[in-house]
Structure 1
Amino acid sequence: MESVAGQQAVRPVVLSFDTRLEMGRAAATDVATELRSRLARQAGVRMVFAAAVSQSDMLQSLIAEPGIDWRRVTAFHMDEYLDLPADAPQRFGSWLRRAIFDRLPFAAVHLIDPGTDADAAVAAYAASLAAAPIDIVCLGIGVNGHLAFNDPPVADFADPQAVKIVTLDDVCRQQQVDDGAFATIADVPRRAVTLTVPRLLDAGRLFCVVPGAAKREAVERALEGPLDTACPASALRLHPDCRLYLDAESDPRRQD
């Protein structure tokens, strides 16, 4: 069994679906079940969301799930661009507000707002996250294997920080163009704020939704490749309770 600094690796539960829509619905059902379970036994739930088109089907289905008291759910998100205007539609906080945050009565929504002092914003966000345990993280995997904005050059499985400022690599920046957020790679910011890998893995449960052919190689490396920062998503194997949702295009076990 593999390990990193004494941490034993375990294989995520991998669930594969024929379509992206089926994948999103199944993931939403499981997230909703976990939410209901936790809300039945604790005062509130704290969860982190990824902002990406890969999450759209899951989020849409999650909004429709019945029996969740969203007034007891506190929301965070996992990364944000620097050097974009506060009202830029590409800001991840803005994307999540449109996708889910403004559509449900959350107890609180904590947005990463770099403002004029990114270092201060990083410290404040880390403190907000540390105020109580994070129960659930809904995340994806990047084309380069990144988790949040932990690209291979900056990912650290033993990162002492909870939140940090990073420089984005060009594969990550091109993905933002391919996802339709920016017209050209020159428009994509070079810097961002991100939750670190250890901060993400410190949550109670991880629900990782990864559709599309562009992610297939990254998924394969995450599941079968070396456990190292060349593929940051391989760190999912260090979490004891991670579920990975794939569609036919992203699942490397399916024949072309």
Structure 2
Amino acid sequence: MRVIITESPAEVATIAADMIADTVRGKGEVSIGLATGSTPIATYKELIARYQAGEISFANTSVYMLDEYIGIDRADENSYYRTIRREFSEQVDIDDSRVHSPNGQASSVAAEAARYEETVRAAGVSLQLLGIGSDGHIGFNEPGSAFDSPTHRVILHPQTVRDNARFFSSIDEVPREAITQGLATIRAAEHPVLLATGESKAPAVAAMVEGPVTAHCPASILQFHPNCTVIVDSAAASQLLDREFYIAAEKQRRARTS
């Protein structure tokens, strides 16, 4: 696991945007996985700015979302279907037909989960952008999720509901269920890139990077991925015991490649 510690959230966004740009640029057809939530927005703004400056095109890029609430209308501004379009794809040259997400209003959630799992697996995701919940979840894989899970229906943890209430008028409006890519689906990506900023994420980051691999912290399964990158600011890295080593290792890595 490569751990990059930066001084600020802005640097997190810049480094993540560099990795996405390197994945997309000059490689023909490419599939990337995107996440919603607060943390990735700065990365999307950085990519939009580069597109507007003529530095990058996403015309040959297909996007696969991690998850979607069950029961929420796709036109609702809080649906992830709308969020990723509003915050990113509508502001660059990604055709809307290339933006894929689970349908939280499907008549059969099980059938929809199976369909989406097949779609994502067939696409072959080159880079999967991830955030991390305060309880260690990635996607909506809450504590206790099976490490070999495919795309599936989940009940949201009360902490996740509380965390997401900031996006709704009241906590009562937050959906309690979702369809999410499973941990096995996420791990199938060639390069998972997880972002975290702020002191509130420090316990989850420490558990993910340095704690035991346990279903209590679903993100910890990424320790077993051969090509996972974690990009955090100094606040989110504050509880890492080997912080000094990660900083030194990254300096050495960059010196080798410069």
Above 0.5 in TM-score? yes
1:100 to 88, 92, 96: 88
Question: CA offset at residue 35 of structure 1?
Answer: 2.3
Map of 1:6 onto structure 2: none
RMSD: 1.7
Q: TM-score, normalised by structure 2?
A: 0.86
1:60 aligned partner: 45
Aligned structure 1 segments of 4 or more residues deviating by more than 4 angstroms: none
Provide the rounded CA distance (Å) in 2 between the counterparts of 1:168 and 1:196.
14
Q: Equivalent residue for 2:24?
A: 35
Q: Which residue identity is paired with 1:242?
A: C
Question: Would the aligned equivalents of 1:16 and 1:245 in 2 still touch at CA under 8 Å?
Answer: yes
- 1:88 is aligned to 76
- Specify the SS of the correspondent of 2:73: coil
What is the count of residue pairs matched by the alignment? Answer: 235
Q: Which residue of 2 aligns with 1:147?
A: 138
Instruction: Please tell me whether the aligned partners of residues 114 and 122 of structure 1 are also in contact (alpha carbons under 8 angstroms).
Output: no
Partner of 1:250: 236
Please, which moves more after superposition, 187-196 or 107-116? 107-116
CA contact (8 A) 2:72 2:105 kept: no
- Counterparts of 1:135 and 1:90, CA distance in 2: 27
User: 1:121 aligned to 2:112?
Assistant: yes
**What code does the residue aligned with 1:198 have?**
A
Cα shift readout 1:5-52 (whole Å, capped 9, x = no counterpart): xxxxxxx2111111111211121112212322xx33xx3111110011
Please tell me the residue identity of whatever aligns with 2:66: M
Structure 1: gaps (5+ residues):
1-11
SS at match of 2:99: strand
Letter in 2 for 1:95: T
C-alpha separation between the residues in 1 aligned to 2:114 and 2:93?
Answer: 27
Cα offset, 1:93, TM superposition = 1.5
What does residue 153 of structure 2 align with? Answer: 165
- The structure richer in helix per residue is 2
What are the Cα deviations for residues 64-99 of structure 1, in whole angstroms up to 9, with x where unaligned? 335433111111100110122332211111111111
- CA distances 1:101-131 after superposition (whole Å, capped 9, x unpaired): 1112225111222224123322221221122
Taking structure 1 as the reference length, what is the TM-score of the superposition?
0.86
What amino acid is aligned across from residue 27 of structure 1 in structure 2?
Answer: A
Matches of 2:183 and 2:194 in 1, distance apart? 14
Secondary structure of 1:246's aligned partner? strand
Separation in 2 of the partners of 1:188 and 1:214?
21
1:44 aligns with 2:33: no
Alignment of 1:218-237 (within 5 A): 218-237=204-223
The 8 Å contact of residues 117 and 185 in structure 2, kept in 1 or not, is answered as: no
Structure 2: state its 5+ residue gaps.
245-258
**2-side partners of 1:69 and 1:31: how far apart?**
11
Task: Tell me, in whole angstroms, the C-alpha distance in 2 between the residues paired with 1:68 and 1:200.
Answer: 26
8 A contact 1:51–1:93 mirrored in 2: no
Partners of 2:29 and 2:73 in 1: CA distance:
33
Q: Which moved more, 1:103-112 or 1:23-32?
A: 103-112
